[in-house]
């Protein structure tokens, strides 16, 4: 069995879960080839991610002559299939948010990927995210490449399923993976009931080294909260700053660290200055997983007030380190966080509920927080062990190839 993974950008700071999945499959003696459209080495902070660069073959790094040769190869090998597939790409482009020209680019990329997959004798290719990466592997399959599958994370796929032709991608694939029960239910909405059997749940997971870490006590004097994530609208950091301002105005002392970076950084910095929170809120920018771990262990808990998600891996990491989490009733999050047992769930967009949850976390005794943290660890250990999840993927690959 020879498997390939295809991702839009790999490795990536926020895609450590893909690396863990690939490495867990390799630990099961399943060779995995890495293909991606691009990467951005300058943003990588983890050495494990940097090591993946040399293992990955990049479509957009190929010289122009390779694309021309791939187009010629696909045309000469099966002219009818070539023109039928380019016609499919054009039709899909007409009814998409990306347009015809972008779909022609996907077609050219698919030709090169098809040649690479055939040369490597790949039996099956798996894509992560049901957006452009899956479009490329679907077109490669229609050109005569291997069967494919893909993992849907959300929320983007659920925001515009018709524009990204999610149903077509599922119709042509051998199977599709959702990372939560919520995700599976959303996929059911867009395909006939006769195809529901194709949808499987495989959770993102943490590796044995992460789960084997011994419990570290919460510092009694800590009033620190940690929010991990890209600085963007859907993560809700601006609402979190609103809650912090209310707490500050009421004389409640606490510190918030925003671990991450993103397109809204300047807006977040302006809001911090406007609310006079510069002594209470810190932005770290992108930091390594070890630095994130260290900050979590120094914190009283984690807070992530998202209003659009899949099931954030950072929540799993916080709970695995036995730190309770405040988050929202969104997507797959309630499948991991249980109100009052390992964290708090608040209504998305509700600043007052968020403020109250933070107050409760700050007022809770260390003993109660540690009990919640242990409950959280047990939940992650049961549901998000990457070795168990990789065995599920391996079984799906074996069935697809058979």
195 lies in the same domain as 295: no
For residue 135, the model assigns a pLDDT of 98
Give me the torsion for CA of 207, 210, 212, 213, rounded to 10°: 180
395 lies in the same domain as 326: no
Q: Is the dihedral of CA 170, 175, 179, 180 positive or negative?
A: positive
Q: What is the pLDDT of residues 327-356, one digit of tens each?
A: 999 999 999 999 999 999 999 999 999 999
356 lies in the same domain as 291: yes
Whether residue 402 has pLDDT greater than 90: no
Indicate the pLDDT class of residue 46, thresholds 50, 70 and 90: confident
| Residue 134 near residue 106 (C-beta atoms within 8 A) | no
For residue 43, the model assigns a pLDDT of 85
146 lies in the same domain as 261: no
237 cis-preceded (ω within 30 degrees of 0): no
The CATH number linked to 162 is 3.40.50.2000
The distance from CA 31 to its chain's CA centroid, rounded to whole angstroms, is: 22
Whether residue 289 has pLDDT greater than 90: no
For residue 45, the model assigns a pLDDT of 82
For residue 248, the model assigns a pLDDT of 96
For residue 42, the model assigns a pLDDT of 87
141 lies in the same domain as 244: no
Tally the C-alpha atoms within 13 A of residue 17's C-alpha that lie toward its C-beta. 21
169 lies in the same domain as 32: yes
| Residue 397 near residue 1 (C-beta atoms within 8 A) | yes
| Residue 180 near residue 201 (C-beta atoms within 8 A) | yes
For residue 142, the model assigns a pLDDT of 98
Whether residue 10 has pLDDT greater than 90: yes
Distance separating alpha carbons of residues 23 and 32, to the nearest angstrom:
8
* Mean per-residue pLDDT over the chain, rounded: 96
Residue located via tokens 């979590």? 296
Beta strands in 107-210 (DSSP E): 124-128, 147-152, 175-178, 199-201
Pick the range with the lowest mean pLDDT from 77-86, 184-193, 206-215: 206-215
Whether residue 14 has pLDDT greater than 90: no
220 lies in the same domain as 93: no
Q: What is the pLDDT of residues 146-190, one digit of tens each?
A: 999 999 999 999 999 999 999 999 999 999 999 999 999 999 999
349 lies in the same domain as 395: no
| Residue 393 near residue 349 (C-beta atoms within 8 A) | no
19 lies in the same domain as 160: yes
Whether residue 105 has pLDDT greater than 90: yes
| Residue 17 near residue 47 (C-beta atoms within 8 A) | no
261 lies in the same domain as 124: no
pTM: 0.94
Whether residue 97 has pLDDT greater than 90: no
104 lies in the same domain as 172: yes
376 lies in the same domain as 393: no
Indicate the pLDDT class of residue 370, thresholds 50, 70 and 90: very high
Q: What is the pLDDT of residues 223-275, one digit of tens each?
A: 999 999 999 999 999 999 999 999 999 999 999 999 999 999 999 999 999 99
- The structural domain count of the chain equals 2
For residue 327, the model assigns a pLDDT of 98
Full residue range of the structural domain in which residue 323 is found: 210-383
């Amino acid at each position: 069995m020879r498997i390939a993974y295809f991702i839009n950008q790999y490795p990536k700071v926020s895609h450590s879960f893909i690396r863990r999945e690939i490495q867990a499959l390799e630990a099961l003696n399943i060779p995995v080839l890495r293909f991606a459209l691009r990467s951005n080495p300058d943003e990588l902070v983890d050495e494990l991610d940097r090591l993946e660069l040399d293992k990955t073959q990049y479509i957009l790094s190929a010289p122009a002559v390779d694309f021309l040769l791939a187009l010629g190869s696909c045309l000469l090998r099966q002219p009818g299939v070539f023109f039928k597939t380019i016609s499919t790409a054009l039709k899909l482009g007409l009814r998409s948010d990306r347009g015809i020209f972008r779909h022609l680019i996907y077609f050219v990329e698919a030709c090169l990927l098809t040649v690479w997959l055939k040369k490597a004798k790949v039996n099956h290719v798996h894509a992560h995210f049901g957006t452009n990466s899956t479009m490329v592997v679907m077109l490669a399959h229609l050109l005569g490449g291997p069967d494919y599958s893909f993992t849907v994370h959300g929320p983007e796929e659920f925001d515009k399923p018709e524009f990204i032709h999610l149903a077509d991608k599922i119709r042509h694939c051998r199977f599709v993976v959702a990372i939560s029960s919520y995700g599976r239910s959303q996929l059911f909405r867009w395909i006939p009931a006769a195809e529901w059997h194709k949808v499987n749940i495989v959770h993102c997971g943490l590796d044995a080294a992460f789960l084997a870490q011994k419990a570290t006590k919460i510092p009694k004097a800590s009033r620190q909260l940690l929010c991990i994530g890209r600085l963007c609208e859907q993560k809700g950091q601006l609402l979190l700053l609103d809650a912090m301002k209310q707490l500050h105005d009421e004389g409640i002392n606490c510190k918030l660290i925003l671990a991450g970076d993103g397109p809204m950084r300047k807006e977040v910095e302006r809001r911090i200055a406007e609310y006079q929170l510069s002594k209470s809120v810190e932005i770290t920018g992108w930091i390594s997983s070890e630095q994130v771990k260290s900050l979590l262990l120094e914190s009283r808990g984690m807070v992530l007030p998202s209003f659009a998600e899949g099931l954030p891996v950072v929540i799993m990491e916080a709970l695995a380190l036995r730190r309770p989490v405040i988050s929202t009733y969104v997507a797959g999050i309630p499948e991991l966080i249980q109100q009052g047992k390992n964290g708090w769930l608040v209504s998305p967009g509700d600043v007052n509920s968020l403020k109250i949850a933070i107050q409760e976390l700050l007022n809770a005794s260390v003993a109660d927080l540690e009990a919640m943290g242990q409950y959280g660890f047990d939940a992650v250990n049961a549901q998000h062990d990457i070795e168990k999840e990789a065995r599920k993927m391996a079984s799906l690959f074996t069935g697809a190839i058979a």
